[in-house]
Structure 1
Amino acid sequence: MAGRSEVLVYDVAVIGAGVIGSAAAYQIAKTGLKVVLLEQFDVGHTRGSSHGGSRITRHLYNTDYYTKMTIEAFPLWEQVEKESGITVYRKTGLTQFAPKGSKTVDNLLAIMKQFDLPVSVVDAKEAKDKCPYITVPDNFVGVFEEDAGILATSKCVTALQNVFIKSGGKLLDCYPITEVVPGNIVVLKSSTKEVIRAKKVVITVGPWAKKFLELLGLDLPLRTVRNESLFWEADPLPDNGRRNFNIIIVSDGEDTDGCYMIPEHEYPGLVKISYRSKYGVEVDPDARDAKVTQDGIEITKKFISKYCTGISTTPSVVEPCIVTKTPDNDFIIDKHPIYNNIIIGVGFTGHGFKLAPVVGKILCEMTMDLPLSYDMTPFAVNRFGK
C-alpha cells in the first residue's frame, strides 16, 4: 500500500478494446507513450462488433478515399501478423457482380484505375469458376480482385492486443467507464474500479458510442443495428472448386442488394451468406437480443433462391453482431469540438474492420498532434451540425 497515494497519469487512455481501439492503442504505444486500453467486458467478448471468424478485406470500394486507405491497410495487417506471430489474413479473391452498365461496375472500375490497382472483368459464364454455388443472369458482369480475402476477426483483435502489450501498453478488461471529466488531465471514473487519469483520451466504444458521447455533450445521429452472420450447409466441392472459390458480392438494386458469400472458413461444411448492414433492426447495445426479427434471414433466403445452387434453405448457424451506423455511412474520426485532448473514433457502419490499422494510425496522429496522413473532411464530427 506504500505507493497507493501516488497518482498515476497515463499519457493516453483508449476506451474500448474492439478492433479500432486495439489498433489505436497499438499504434500509440509504439511511440513510447504510456498507454492504457480499457474494456468494459471480458477480453474476447461477443457483445459488440469485433468478434467472429471472418470479415471481408478488399481494395474494391465505390469511394476513392476508402480505396486509398485500403492500400495502406494490407501491409499494416501484414506487419501485425509478423509482430504477433498470428496469421489473420487468407487470400481468396473477390468478385462483385452487378448488371452490365450499372453505376456499381463503372464506378468500381474507375476507382481501381485511378489507383492503378489490378482488376479484371468477369462475365456471367465465368461466375461458376469464381463461385461454384452462384449463377447470375447473362446481363450481369463481375469485377474481380485477386488480392481480396478474409480477415479472421477475433484473431485480428487478439493479435493487435498482443503487440500492444508487447509494445509496453497496459490492457484492463472488465473496466466500465461511467463518467468522463474533461480537463488538462482527463479523469475517467468507473462504477467498480479505480479512477484513471490521462493527458489524452481516445474513445472507440463501438455500439455504445451514442450513449457514451452523451456524457460529453455530443448528441450524434448514430444508430446501433443488430445484424446476423448466417452460415449455410453447402454441397461438397472438388479440390479445384475449393481452390477457385472467391468471396462473392451480388448487387442487383433489389432487396438482395449487397448480399455476399464467403467460402468455408470458420465452420466445416458451411459457407457464410449474409445481407449487408443496410438491413437489420435498431437495438439498444445493452439489450441486443431484445428485438430479433427474421427480416435478414428472409432477405438472404431470397438471395439464395435467386442466385444459388447447392445451398441449404435454412441457416445452420446464426451469430448476432451489432454495428454502429452514421446517416452517410462514413466514419467519425475527429477531436471533440470542445475538448482538444479527447479524440473520437466511432460509427464504422459495418465496413470499418478491414481499415482498422489505418484508422488506428490516424487516431495516433491526432493524439500526438501530428500532420494527418489523410484528408479527414468526410469524417468530421461537425458534419452533422453538432
Structure 2
Amino acid sequence: MSDTHSRRVVYDVAVIGAGVIGSAAAYHIIKKGVKVVLIEQFDVGHTRGSSHGGSRITRHLYNTDYYTKMTIEAFPLWEQVEKESGITVYSKTGLGRCAPKHSETLSSIIASMHRCGLPISVLDSKQMKQRCPHLNLPDSFECVYEEDAGILAASKAVTALQNVFIKNGGKLLDCHPITEIVPGDVVVLKSSSKQDIRAKNIVVTVGPWAKKVLKPLGLDLPLRTVRKEHLYWKITPLPDNDGRGFEVVIFADDDVSEGCYITPEFEYPGLVKVNYNTDDGGIEVDPDARDADTTNQKGVEETKKFITQYLLGISTAPSIVEPCILTKTPDNDFIIDKHPKYSNIMIGVGFSGHGFKLAPVVGKILCEMTMNLPLSYDILPFAINRFKPSDYYTHQGHTI
C-alpha cells in the first residue's frame, strides 16, 4: 500500500493490541459491519505479553457479583468462538477453591454464586482429596467446588478470535508498532513503519504497554507491570489412585485472596502447572526489558514451600519456567472506560491476571462503547474515575 493510499483510508475502528482482549473486541466490532483494523506491534503469536501460552483457568467462582455475572455469559461466548473458528478452546476439568473452614473468602464466593443462581458444592478435605489424590489437605480445610470450570487453551483462543475476525472482513496488521496517537475527530496512529493509520474510533488494549501508550494522551494510570513465571513441575503417579491426577485447584487465603493454584497435566506430558499467585510472586518490570532480570527466586521458593506442605507426588524443582507479564491495578479490578477527554478513544487495560476468561465479555463491552450502543453491564466498577484524579490525569506530562 502506498503512503498516498494509506492516508486516504479511514477505518471506522482501529484496535491497538492484538492480545486476547483486543482480539475479542475486534471479533465483536467487525460483526457490526464496519471497517476495522487490529494492530499488533509484534508478530502474531508472540510471547512478549500476557495472552500467550497453553492454559488459563476459566471459572464462575468469584466473590464479587459483577465478575460472577460476567462469567455466566463468558462460557457460551467461548463456545460460540469455538463453533465459528473450528478451534477447540475450552476443556472441562472441574475446580475446587480450598481454604480453612469458615474462610471469609469462601463465604463470599458461596454468597455470590447463590445470588447469581449458579450451582456449587461444598466439599470437606477428604471429599476433595478423593477427587485429587495429590492434594495433602488438612482436616481444617474445606473447598467450594464447581463442576463446569476448566482450562482455556490460551494461544489457541487468541488465534480463534483472530481467525473469525479476519473471516468476517477484518484486517490484522502485525509487526506494526504505533509510535504516536494523535487525537481528533479522526485519530491518527503514527508508526515507525511510516504507514499511518486513520480511524474514527480507537480501542486501546495494549496490556503491559498501557502506561507508555496512554501517558502522552494525558493519562498516567496507576498500573504496575509485573513479570511472573509460569512454573511446571513433574508429577509422579501415586499408588492406587486409579489414574486420577489433578483438576484445577486454587488455594484461597483471607489475607491475599489467592495463594497458589494448580492446573492439571495439559500443556506438557507429565507436568502440572503450580504457580504462586500473589504480588510477592512477581517483580515489576519494563515490558520492553522483560528479560533483563533473572527468574524471581522468591516466587519459586514460595511455590516449593506450598508443594511441600500441600501436595503429594510433585517434584520440588520446576522442570520448565516460562515468563509472562501481568498488568495490575491497585484494586485488581479492570479498567474499561472511555478516555476522560477524547470520547472516541476506548480503553481496556489492567486486567490484573484474571481477565483472560472474561475476554469475550470485555470485548463485547468495548464494542458497545465504540458503537455507542446500550451497555450490557454496569462498568462503574471499572471506571477510571474510581481513582483520584491526581493518580491518573496529567497535562503535558505533569500531574494536575
TM-score by length of 1: 0.97
For residue 319 of structure 2, the aligned residue among 316, 320, 326 is 316
Distance in 2, Cα, partners of 1:265 & 1:326: 30
Q: What is aligned with 2:345?
A: 342
1:82 aligns with 2:78: no
CA deviation after TM superposition for structure 1 residue 257, in Å:
4.6
Aligned match for 2:292, one of 287, 290, 293? 290
Structure 1 residues 340 and 255 mapped into 2: Cα distance closer, same or farther (>3 Å)?
closer
Q: CA deviation at 1:115?
A: 1.1
For 2:78 and 2:245, locate their aligned partners in 1 and report how far apart those are by CA, in whole Å.
Answer: 24
2:393 aligned partner: none
Contact 1:129 1:241 in 2 (8 A): no
CA deviation profile, 1:174-233 (whole Å, cap 9, x unmatched) = 000010010000000001240000000000000000111012110111000001110000
The within-5 A match list for 1:365-384 is: 365-384=368-387
1:314 partner SS: coil
Give the letter for the 1:353 counterpart. Answer: F
Deviation at 1:278, TM superposition (A): 2.9
Distance 2:336 2:117 in 1: 27
Paired with 1:377 and 1:16, the residues of 2 have a C-alpha distance of 24
Which residue is equivalent to 1:174?
175
User: Kindly, what percent of the aligned residue pairs are identical?
Assistant: 71
For residues 178-197 of structure 1, the aligned pairs below 5 Å read 178-197=179-198
Which residue number corresponds to residue 332 of structure 2? 329
Equivalents in 1 of 2:195, 2:149: separation in Å? 44
Secondary structure, in 3 states, of the residue corresponding to 1:295? helix
Q: CA RMSD in A?
A: 1.7
The CA deviation at 1:254 is 6.8
Please name the residue that 1:63 is paired with. 64
Please state how far the C-alpha of 1:340 moved relative to its aligned partner: 0.4
Alignment of 1:103-114 (within 5 A): 103-114=104-115
**3-state DSSP class of the match of 2:308?**
helix
CA-CA distance at 1:239 after TM superposition:
10
Tell me, yes or no, if the aligned pair for 1:277 and 1:349 is still in contact at 8 Å: no
1:237–1:75 Cα change, 3 Å: farther
Deviation at 1:333, TM superposition (A): 0.3
Offset at residue 128 of structure 1 (A): 1.8
The offset of 1:255, in angstroms, is 7.9
Aligned counterpart, 2:202: 201
Q: Return closer, same or farther for 1:277/1:170 CA change in 2, 3 Å cut-off.
A: farther
CA distance in 2, matches of 1:332, 1:36: 22
Q: 2:358 aligns with which of 308, 330, 355?
A: 355
For 1:150 and 1:54, how far apart are their aligned partners in 2?
Answer: 6
Gaps of 5+ in 1: none
The CA distance in 2 between the partners of 1:2 and 1:175, in whole Å, is: 15
Distance 2:44 2:288 in 1: 17
Residue 265 of structure 2 corresponds to residue 264 of structure 1: yes
DSSP-derived class of the 1:251 partner: strand
**What amino acid sits opposite 1:285 in the alignment?**
P
Question: Which amino acid is 1:300 matched to?
Answer: T
Total equivalences in the alignment: 386
Q: Is the 8 A contact 2:229 2:323 kept in 1?
A: yes
CA separation of 1:336 and 1:93: change in aligned 2, threshold 3 A: same
2:8 is paired with a residue whose SS is coil
The answer to whether the 8 Å contact 1:207/1:324 transfers is yes
Secondary structure at 1:258 match in 2:
strand
Question: For residue 54 of structure 2, what is the amino acid of its counterpart?
Answer: G
Distance 1:211 1:151, change over 3 A: same
After TM superposition, the structure 1 stretch with the greater mean CA deviation from structure 2, 244-253 or 34-43, is 244-253
Is residue 80–residue 159 contact of structure 1 (8 Å, CA) maintained in 2?
Answer: yes
TM-score normalised to structure 2 length = 0.93
Say if 1:2 and 1:100 are closer, same or farther in 2 by CA, change over 3 A. closer
Give the Å deviation of 1:243. 5.4
How far off is 1:127 after superposition? 2.2
Q: Distance in 2 between matches of 1:87 and 1:237?
A: 30
Amino acid at match of 1:84: S
